[in-house]
Amino acid sequence: MQKRKLKIGIVVGEVSGDTLGARLIRRFREQGIEAEFEGIGGPQMIAEGFKSYYPMDILSVMGIVEVLKDIKKLFAVRDGLVEQWSKEPVDVFIGIDAPDFNLRLSKSLKQKSPSIKTVQYVSPSVWAWRQGRVHGIKANIDLVLCLFPFEKAFYQKWQVPAAFVGHPLASQLPVDNNLADAKLELGLEASQKHIALLPGSRRGEIERLGPLVLAAAEILAAKYQNYHFLIPAINDARKQQIESLLQHCAADLRSRVSLLENTDTESKIGRQVMNAADIVALASGTATLEAMLLHRPMVTFYKLNRITYWIAKLLVKIPYYSLPNIIAGKKVIEELIQEEATPERLAHEIEKLMHIEAAQIQVMQHRTMHKQLLSGNCEDPVAAILAIL
């Protein structure tokens, strides 16, 4: 008798989730497990044979006020997936990141089809803010796959099934990473100094943060003729958006900016740009972990809608916003949030990292944390998922 293929539903909302999803699909296949994968995925997952019912960008909405504008569309997507998987059930649903959407989807699936197992891959930051969400996770999620060991410890306190599977980038990126080689990979002069500017990969982020980073770059360009600037664009739409902002900048800055568009399904242009930079200035998010694992000196920043920020500020339970600082339990990199995120302050913090001593201290701390993430006792995510089926 032929063994039935597993049917696995996956939903991702951004590039980092698409990367995790593609790797997870490959791990199932490498272990000889026959499975079909469907839901919402990006180009990397689709290249692995994934069937996506909606474009991944449909979930790329950040902030409370911003989400409210698209709430009807998001509900329609959720209801469409619930209807699809009620008619043709999946064995397991895996929500990768995008917790506000995926946790609600898991709850709806459990109510409609209790036999479907639910997994949340990448823990929402319940240890940082809105800790009350852990009760909903306990009720509706059969397994949480954690990227960091402190997350599993948190869930154990609440008696929620969890596995520490490690962050794939920690093992993928080398502990010894040569800057000159990274510059040559992008066709840059190894002797040239570069500052990477990453205002984010979403349309709304570039609207809010693009003018900030370019204004800071204008300040630096006027003072330091030996520095050039690198900006990644995840796709053509984001490239056009950044080009439009650059039109309002001084000609001297425009002549020293390289705008590099992504050219492959892995969407790794942001990582390549950070890797080739002497200093990185980036929007707070998962990219700060990448910059840390690349061992590049950095400063991070973020600005939200004012109402969203003040609501979030009331709910945050930890003193830091960026993953390097959270992992270290102390301030390793500078965080410029909301009113502190001004062009003058950002330029000043970048300028500090031009000094070798300050840059080297950061690099040493990044290497130490990289080694810590590699030394943990990681579990196999596929084995952990199969154990609940």
Sequence spans of domains, the chain: 6-168+377-388, 172-374
Greatest Cα pair distance in the chain: 73
Q: What are the 10-residue block averages of pLDDT along the chain, 389 residues in total? A: 81 90 96 97 96 89 53 89 96 94 96 96 85 93 92 93 90 92 95 96 92 98 97 94 95 95 80 97 92 97 83 73 87 95 98 97 95 82 96
How many other C-beta atoms can be found within 10 angstroms of the C-beta atom of residue 33? 15
Say what the pLDDT of residue 378 is: 85
How many other C-beta atoms can be found within 10 angstroms of the C-beta atom of residue 81? 23
Say what the pLDDT of residue 65 is: 47
Say what the pLDDT of residue 69 is: 61
Nearest-angstrom CA–CA distance, 332 and 114? 44
Say what the pLDDT of residue 266 is: 65
Read off the pTM.
Answer: 0.71
Q: Return the CATH number of the domain spanning residue range 172-374.
A: 3.40.50.2000
Say what the pLDDT of residue 272 is: 95
Say what the pLDDT of residue 67 is: 52
Q: Same topology for domains 6-168+377-388 and 172-374, yes or no? A: yes
Order of strands across the sheet with 193-198? 257-261, 227-233, 193-198, 279-283, 298-302, 334-337
CA 92 to chain centre: 23
Say what the pLDDT of residue 58 is: 83
Say what the pLDDT of residue 64 is: 46
Q: Tell me the Ramachandran region of residue 344: left when phi exceeds 0, alpha when psi lies from -120 to 50, beta otherwise.
A: alpha
Say what the pLDDT of residue 155 is: 96
Q: Return the CATH number of the domain spanning residue range 6-168+377-388.
A: 3.40.50.2000
